[in-house]
Amino acid sequence: MDAQMKKGVLDALVLTVLKEGDSYGYQLSERVAGIMEVSETALYPVLRRLEAQAMLETYSEEYQGRLRKYYRLTKRGREKLHEYAAGLSDLARVIAVIIKGEKQ
């Protein structure tokens, strides 16, 4: 997959996974990697960028004597996810035409 396309899809996927509930970094990376090929090291810059854009917020909780950083979807993140869903729906229609030769 093209790097630019992968970036947009990865953003949407991270927001979608977090829509299901808060998650700490490793858990989130495992869930995303189960859907799309992405390394854990590639995911953290995405999380930082989405947090800087106020689509995610973070908080820490102690687990077995260590702090875990959790990510939570914000209202702005939910709004952006809705925008992604609309755009990706249109893209899915176009992809179906390209891959399967389906006509609209």
Give tens-digit pLDDT for 19-76.
Answer: 999 999 999 999 999 998 888 788 999 999 999 999 999 999 999 999 999 999 999 9
| 43 Cβ contact partners less than 8 Å away, ≥ 6 residues apart | 10, 14, 25, 28, 29, 32
8/74 Cα distance (integer angstroms): 18
**Pairwise pLDDT comparison (17 vs 8), residue with the higher score:** 17
| Residue of 12, 10, 7 whose CA lies nearest to 73 | 12
CA distance 22 to 45: 18
Tokens of 48: 């930082």
pLDDT of residue 77: 97
pLDDT digits (tens, 9 = 90+) for 70-99: 999 999 999 999 998 888 888 888 888 888
Domains annotated for the chain, with CATH where assigned, are 3-100 (1.10.10.10)
Nearest in space to 20 (alpha carbons), one of 66, 78, 90, 64: 78
CA distance 33 to 43: 10
DSSP string, 4-39: HHHHHHHHHHHHHHHHT--EEHHHHHHHHHTTS---
